[in-house]
C-alpha cells in the first residue's frame, strides 16, 4: 500500500472514532441520575446516627421533590452526602451526589443571582 492510502485510512478511522465519542457522550448526558444514600453494612448499619441520617435525607429528598427551588434542602442534602462519604469511605459516589445538588442550586438563575449579591454583602431579594 502506498502512503496516500494509509493516510486516508488513518484519517477516516480518526473521524469515525471522534463521531463515536461525541454520540456516546451526548447519550450519557441526557440520562438524569438520582443519587440516594447507600445501605451501610455491618455495625455501621445498626447505629443510631445512620438511622437519623437516613430519615433526614428522606425528608430533604421529599422537600426537594415538592419544591425544586428549595436551596436550603439541596445544600443540606449535599452536606449529608459529604458526611456519608467520610463515614463510609465511598468518596466517588457521594462526591458526585453532593456535586449534583450543588449544581442544581447554581443552575437555578434566581438562586445564582441571589448568591452573587449575598456573597458581596448586597443582600438582594
**Is it the case that residue 120 has pLDDT exceeding 80?**
no
Q: Which residues contact 77 (CB under 8 A, 6 or more apart)?
A: 57, 60, 61, 64, 101
Residues 39 and 27 in one domain: no
Residues 42 and 25 in one domain: no
pLDDT band, very low/low/confident/very high, at 4 (cuts 50, 70, 90):
confident
Taking residue 77's Cβ as centre, other Cβ atoms within 10 Å add up to 26
Question: Which residue do the cell numbers 486516508 mark?
Answer: 8
Residues 56 and 105 in one domain: yes
Are the beta carbons of 96 and 35 closer than 8 angstroms?
A: yes
Total domains in the fold of the chain: 2
Single pTM value for the model? 0.65
Are the beta carbons of 57 and 77 closer than 8 angstroms?
A: yes
pLDDT band, very low/low/confident/very high, at 121 (cuts 50, 70, 90):
low
**Is it the case that residue 31 has pLDDT exceeding 50?**
no
Q: Is residue 2 part of a domain?
A: yes
Residues 19 and 42 in one domain: no
Tell me the average pLDDT across 37-41: 91
Amino acid at each position: 500500500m502506498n502512503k496516500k492510502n494509509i493516510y486516508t485510512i488513518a484519517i477516516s478511522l480518526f473521524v469515525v472514532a471522534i463521531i463515536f465519542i461525541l454520540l456516546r457522550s451526548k447519550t450519557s448526558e441526557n440520562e438524569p441520575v438520582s443519587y440516594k444514600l447507600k445501605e451501610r453494612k455491618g455495625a455501621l448499619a445498626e447505629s443510631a446516627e445512620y438511622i437519623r441520617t437516613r430519615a433526614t435525607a428522606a425528608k430533604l429528598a421529599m422537600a426537594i421533590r415538592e419544591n425544586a427551588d428549595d436551596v436550603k434542602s439541596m445544600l443540606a442534602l449535599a452536606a449529608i452526602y459529604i458526611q456519608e462519604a467520610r463515614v463510609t469511605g465511598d468518596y466517588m459516589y457521594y462526591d458526585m451526589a453532593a456535586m449534583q445538588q450543588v449544581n442544581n442550586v447554581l443552575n437555578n438563575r434566581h438562586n445564582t443571582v441571589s448568591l452573587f449579591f449575598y456573597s458581596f454583602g448586597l443582600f438582594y431579594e
